Structure 1
Amino acid sequence: MSQTLLTPSPALRAPSAGALFMIAAGVAFAGVNTLEQIATTRLGIPAPTAAFLQYAVALVAVLPWALRHGLPSLRTRRPFLQAFRVLLAALGVQAWVAGLAHGVPIGQAVALVMTSPFVVTLGAGLLLGERVSAERWLAVTAGFVGGLIILDPFSASFTAASLYPLGAAVLWAGVSLMQKRLLAEDSPEAVAAWLLLMLAPVNLLLALPAGLAMPSASGWITIIAVGVLTAAAQALLTLAYARADAAYVQPFDHVKLPLNVLAGWIAFGWLPPSRLWLGAALIVGASMFLLWRESRTAAAYSASSS
């Protein structure tokens, strides 16, 4: 899950540092995904248990920092919407880990989850009533076409498990849409605190029906590494957005795709088919167009209101 769990604090603007932090976050997430797949496919940790333990360890890792800086208040005007947002985020984590546990190649999974911004745009137009231009609809269509090319649902290699990362993308898009609604009424600190403090308990509730399976010694070492890397990746994302504008650092987030492909090749010997690069090119190109479009619109609004 690449959404920040912490709220960026004011910092000196340093765009190059922001880009480096974003790339470092991509490296950390590649480590998270690789170790998570090792934990579930080779060490036998069930996906629901792995998802819970990942965020439980991440919470333990980040709590000393949070306590030292003061935990933000959970006070909110929309507690049910906050809780539903956390539930969607946890379901997204469960879907993501289930995909890895079923052997979906890491690079393919990451490429599919990169369609999430297009789902956000679609939802903003259909559910939030935001105006979506023809250019944005075109970008959304191109992004979904890229996802279909990667999935290749009519090939012999297609399995239902390939849909898990796509499900995670849809669920996390829902999290982003609800975050936009919540930020209109609640403080950013409260919105971040709900996700930070509640994600592990909700994942525990989702894991209980299948039963928690305690890992072996090597399993514990791997899952602790996953949790610590998750916390580190979230901290690096926070630093990236604190050091530079989102429009500047966001393109560097796309570096995570080749990083995860490389990690999948090193750990599992998976070489991506050519269709992955074609589909990824459409997804990255469309998302870059959306980013450029949004930044241009924001600049025009700022100029007109000044």
Structure 2
Amino acid sequence: MTRFYSTVSPAYVGASFMLIAGILFAVINTLVQYSTMILGLPPATVAFWQYLIALGFSVPWLLTKGIRAMKTSNPFIHVARVIMAAAGVQLWVMSLAHVPIWQAIALIMLSPFFVTFGAGVFLRETISFARWCAVIVGFIGGMIILAPWSEDFSVYALVAIAAAVMWALASLMTKYLTRTETPESLTTYLLLLLTPINAGLALSDGVSPSLGSAWVLLIAAGLMTALAQYALTKAYSSADAAYLQPFDHLKLPLNVGFGIVVFGFIPPGSMWIGSALIVAASFYLLRRETQTATN
């Protein structure tokens, strides 16, 4: 198996792992939405168990690499970053409890535009006029998907956007920390701090689901979360982000497909128009980022 792996093109390996991660995340989102929307479990409780179980499967990695990576000169920024990530997780699960999966996943794709906006405002990075235009186009696509003028508009759709904002803030802090911290340090603090923060947020709802069948879904979601994170790591360690981006965008049709099969959520035509604008704008931003990095 190792010999076969070593003879395969890194581009093929990266694309394969990115596709595996996309499939896993689509299944995870479906399990989470079923647990919250159909079984009625509190979103905070579902998020807590999902990531606690994922942490359990990550313990071997923590024991071999994580302990040595805990030395840092930026403990407060690490904590703030994980708080933002935890808020993103909680808001994301809350959105899946109330809005169709196609709308939630399309709106979460706005996160890169919030990262670009925040990089210009908070990190004082130079953002060209063309990149600002790409951000505006992406937000227009988000507004088409959000459709606040529609009778079917739900305020909970804004929760998915809030999750995108929180994850964007976490990404900005990650970008700042990479100046002095190692990838092992960033991963270790995320794994160790995310679960207790989620536990604190879940206390008001209770951390023990009362439905026996829910445990199967939560264990499956936790296991697949750990596997999906591993697949992402393998993908990005095998190929460039620019090459992998098209495979990452496959998460949209994958989630839409599962939503149709499991819940009967049929997205309107406006979803595809808005998503096309978001994907096109994000490709442009990625292209600009790649050009900047190589110059």
Task: Give the TM-score normalised by the residue count of structure 1.
Answer: 0.91
Contact 2:66-2:188 within 8 A present in 1 as well? no
Q: One-letter code of the match for 1:110?
A: I
**Long gaps (5+) in structure 1:** 1-11, 302-306
Pairs aligned (count): 289
**Long gaps (5+) in structure 2:** 1-7
Q: One-letter code of the match for 1:67?
A: L
Q: Report the counterpart of residue 187 of structure 2 in structure 1.
A: 192
Q: Report the counterpart of residue 151 of structure 1 in structure 2.
A: 146
Q: One-letter code of the match for 1:249?
A: L
Cα distance in structure 1, aligned partners of 2:120 and 2:64: 41
Deviations 1:255-282 (A, max 9, x none): 0000000000011011110010000000
Q: Report the counterpart of residue 213 of structure 2 in structure 1.
A: 218
**Within-5 A mapping of 1:128-139:** 128-139=123-134
1:27 to 23, 26, 32: 23
SS across alignment from 1:184 = coil
Cα distance in structure 1, aligned partners of 2:64 and 2:127: 43
**Within-5 A mapping of 1:109-258:** 109-258=104-253
SS across alignment from 1:209 = coil
Q: Which moved more, 1:22-31 or 1:63-72?
A: 63-72
Q: Report the counterpart of residue 3 of structure 1 in structure 2.
A: none
Q: Report the counterpart of residue 304 of structure 1 in structure 2.
A: none
Q: Which moved more, 1:196-205 or 1:149-158?
A: 196-205
Deviations 1:168-196 (A, max 9, x none): 00000000000111111222211111112
Cα distance in structure 2, aligned partners of 1:136 and 1:150: 21
2:56 to 60, 68, 90: 60
CA RMSD of aligned residues (A): 1.5
Change in Cα spacing, 1:215 to 1:71, as seen in structure 2 (3 Å) is farther
CA offset at residue 108 of structure 1?
A: 1.1
Change in Cα spacing, 1:187 to 1:69, as seen in structure 2 (3 Å) is closer
Change in Cα spacing, 1:204 to 1:24, as seen in structure 2 (3 Å) is same
Deviations 1:23-53 (A, max 9, x none): 1100000000000011112222111100100
Task: Give the TM-score normalised by the residue count of structure 2.
Answer: 0.94
Contact 1:46-1:213 within 8 A present in 2 as well? no
SS across alignment from 1:210 = coil
